[in-house]
Amino acid sequence: MARLVVMGAGVSGHTAATFAKKYLGKKHEVVVVAPNSNWNWIPSNIWVGVGEMTKEDVTFALAPVYKKAGIDFRQAKAVSIHPEGKADSDTPYITIEYTDDERSGQSEELEYDYLINATGPKLNFGATAGLGEGSNIGEHTVSVCTADHAAHANLELQACIEKMKNGERQKFLIGTGHGMCTCQGAAFEYIFNIEKTLNDAGVRDMADMKWISNESFLGDFGMGGIHFSMGGYATSSKIFSESLYSERGLDWIIGAHVTKVEEGKIEYELLDGSMDEETFDFAMLIPPFAGVGLKAYAKDGADITDTIFAPNGFMKVDAKYDAGAYENWQASDWPHTLQNPTYGNMFAVGIAFAPPHPISKPITTPNGTLIVPTPPRTGMPSAMMGKAVAQSISDMIKKGATEPTHTACMAEMGAACVASAGKGLFTGTAAAMTVYPIVPDFEKYPGVGRDMNGTTGELGLAAHWIKHILHHIFIWKAKLKPGWTLIPE
């Protein structure tokens, strides 16, 4: 009997674990290690952040689902990886520290035959002074990164709405809290959902709303922008986004590295090296992501963290990490099998794998500050990575395959992204975007880097319906309800 251990139970980890169990059956063991007791459909946190959904609408308890599936669930955080075993054993293992009420703080060694790192990110609030400490959000801004954060953001938002109803103007600042952030899409959704919420509450005219982000142009989204096939034109997402911001009366600051957050004020550096500041009454600033801080040790106890992980804490996989400057980047730099190059029984999926480099062009300010959005690796692509790795490991265990048999390369897969611009059965809108491939391939698709037959975008009510339906479908799927395997990632 082989044992697969999956660290993390987000979109990619949950997908990997559940498919692996389906493929491997009862003869083999699948263990999930995750510090949280609940699964969270993160895309709907946006609606929690404006009071359109509750925390309970976007989360469910993992333990009963895993019990039903025959998956061994340990509510614990992974601390270290020992891929060569220890002095008296060659069996690799990880150390975990329980986080549930019963065993909180207790440590355990968990042996594995195969390991999937799907830990997701550490929300690195501590990277920006005043944004927070370590993984914890600070007192000056709000976040929608977790369901709890989003519920808190809604309380702050409702307080602002009350002030506006009482005649007090409020200034909203939404975007990214550091020059190396990703997840601009979540902030994009949040600013438009707030805008609609304020409209519905009849106080939009009392609000000044501004976007701030590390993108070098509006609509970069950490993907170097996108050209959509629209109305006979290859239309840049810059035009698409600027149009939407203009229509809704939103100002924007782009190319910004937020350096400091204080009560009601941020300081930031722009791409030209100039420094400026902005005041706010309500701010939601996405933190940068980092690896969760896993350590790795060799058989003799030597620290091999640098061998397995990139400096940002994400796990190295079969990517080309020595591509060098932007001019040398190619689509083929991106990983295919997600297998660790040093230890073939370890894989990393979703945010946990180390990308070879950004997708967007990096810009260094005259002060030496690097400002570049880091690549998005959430949602559909992370689920596809989880499934592909589960298939490969299943083939390695059951069929004796010596190499991974499935791939999920971001330069060869597309993504469907539905970004909410306001909720409402007949008044809601969302931007429905399809992008193929996610990482532009300028050799295959000269000029824009993407297949114009597969890269489209449009704003409308239909996209909102799709986003709402996806909310229910993916929670259904994650709960492993009847037909869950038929629902695509």
* Other CB atoms within 10 Å distance of the CB of residue 341: 14
Of the pair 243, 312, the CB lying nearest other proteins is at: 243
- Answer yes or no: are the C-beta atoms of 384 and 311 closer than 8 Å: no
The verdict on 335 binding other proteins (CB under 8 A) reads: no
Q: What is the crossing angle of helices 147-165 and 184-200, to 10°? A: 30
- Answer yes or no: are the C-beta atoms of 406 and 389 closer than 8 Å: yes
The verdict on 459 binding other proteins (CB under 8 A) reads: yes
Q: In the range 231-270, which residues lie near other proteins by CB under 8 A?
A: 239, 242-243, 245-247, 249, 251-252
Of the pair 4, 383, the CB lying nearest other proteins is at: 383
Chain centre to alpha carbon of residue 358: 14
Compute the C-alpha angle 26/27/31, nearest 5°. Answer: 70
Of the listed pieces 126-134, 186-194, 290-298, 455-463, which binds other proteins according to CB under 8 A?
Answer: 455-463
Of the pair 371, 432, the CB lying nearest other proteins is at: 432
Alpha-carbon distance values, 131 to 116, 215, 270, 285, 447 (Å): 31, 19, 18, 8, 39
Which residue shows structure tokens 């498919």? 19
Q: In the range 415-454, which residues lie near other proteins by CB under 8 A?
A: 415-416, 426-427, 429, 432, 434, 436, 454
Query: Least Å distance between CB 478 and other proteins?
Result: 17
Query: Least Å distance between CB 242 and other proteins?
Result: 4
The verdict on 190 binding other proteins (CB under 8 A) reads: no
Question: Do you find a cis peptide bond into 437, omega within 30 degrees of 0?
Answer: yes
The verdict on 290 binding other proteins (CB under 8 A) reads: no
Of the pair 124, 337, the CB lying nearest other proteins is at: 337
The verdict on 458 binding other proteins (CB under 8 A) reads: yes
The verdict on 407 binding other proteins (CB under 8 A) reads: yes
Binding residue count for other proteins, defined by CB under 8 A: 38
Chain centre to alpha carbon of residue 414: 16
Of the pair 107, 246, the CB lying nearest other proteins is at: 246
Contacts of 48 (CB under 8 A, 6+ apart): 54, 55, 57, 58, 144, 147, 150, 151, 153, 154
Query: Least Å distance between CB 196 and other proteins?
Result: 12
* Other CB atoms within 10 Å distance of the CB of residue 276: 11
Q: In the range 371-400, which residues lie near other proteins by CB under 8 A?
A: 384, 388
The verdict on 15 binding other proteins (CB under 8 A) reads: no
The verdict on 321 binding other proteins (CB under 8 A) reads: no
Among residues 456, 476, 479, 484, the one that binds other proteins under rule CB under 8 A: 456
State phi, psi for 153 to the nearest 5 degrees. -60, -40
Q: How far apart are CA 214 and CA 269, in angstroms?
A: 10
Query: Least Å distance between CB 280 and other proteins?
Result: 19
Of the pair 290, 418, the CB lying nearest other proteins is at: 418
Q: How far apart are CA 157 and CA 155, in angstroms?
A: 5
The verdict on 289 binding other proteins (CB under 8 A) reads: no
Among residues 2, 234, 401, 466, the one that binds other proteins under rule CB under 8 A: 466
Which residue shows structure tokens 């060799």? 298
Buried b (16+ CB within 10 A) or exposed e, 206-239: bbebbbbbbbbbbbbbbbbbbbbbeeeeebbbbb
Nearest to 292 by CA among 107, 148, 120: 120
Of the listed pieces 107-115, 271-279, 368-376, 411-419, which binds other proteins according to CB under 8 A?
Answer: 411-419
Of the pair 311, 488, the CB lying nearest other proteins is at: 488
Q: How far apart are CA 172 and CA 164, in angstroms?
A: 12
Among residues 69, 79, 461, 473, the one that binds other proteins under rule CB under 8 A: 461
Of the pair 281, 489, the CB lying nearest other proteins is at: 489
Of the listed pieces 145-153, 312-320, 410-418, 471-479, which binds other proteins according to CB under 8 A?
Answer: 410-418
The verdict on 43 binding other proteins (CB under 8 A) reads: no
Instruction: Name the region of 275 (left: φ>0; alpha: ψ -120 to 50; beta: rest).
Output: beta
The verdict on 202 binding other proteins (CB under 8 A) reads: no
Of the pair 14, 406, the CB lying nearest other proteins is at: 406
Q: How far apart are CA 42 and CA 58, in angstroms?
A: 7
Contacts of 139 (CB under 8 A, 6+ apart): 263
Among residues 25, 301, 324, 488, the one that binds other proteins under rule CB under 8 A: 488
Which residue shows structure tokens 């300010």? 365
The verdict on 412 binding other proteins (CB under 8 A) reads: yes
Of the listed pieces 4-12, 124-132, 174-182, 412-420, which binds other proteins according to CB under 8 A?
Answer: 412-420
Which residue shows structure tokens 């309500």? 282
Q: Which residues bind other proteins (CB under 8 A)?
A: 239, 242-243, 245-247, 249, 251-252, 384, 388, 406-409, 412-416, 426-427, 429, 432, 434, 436, 454, 456, 458-463, 465-466, 488-489
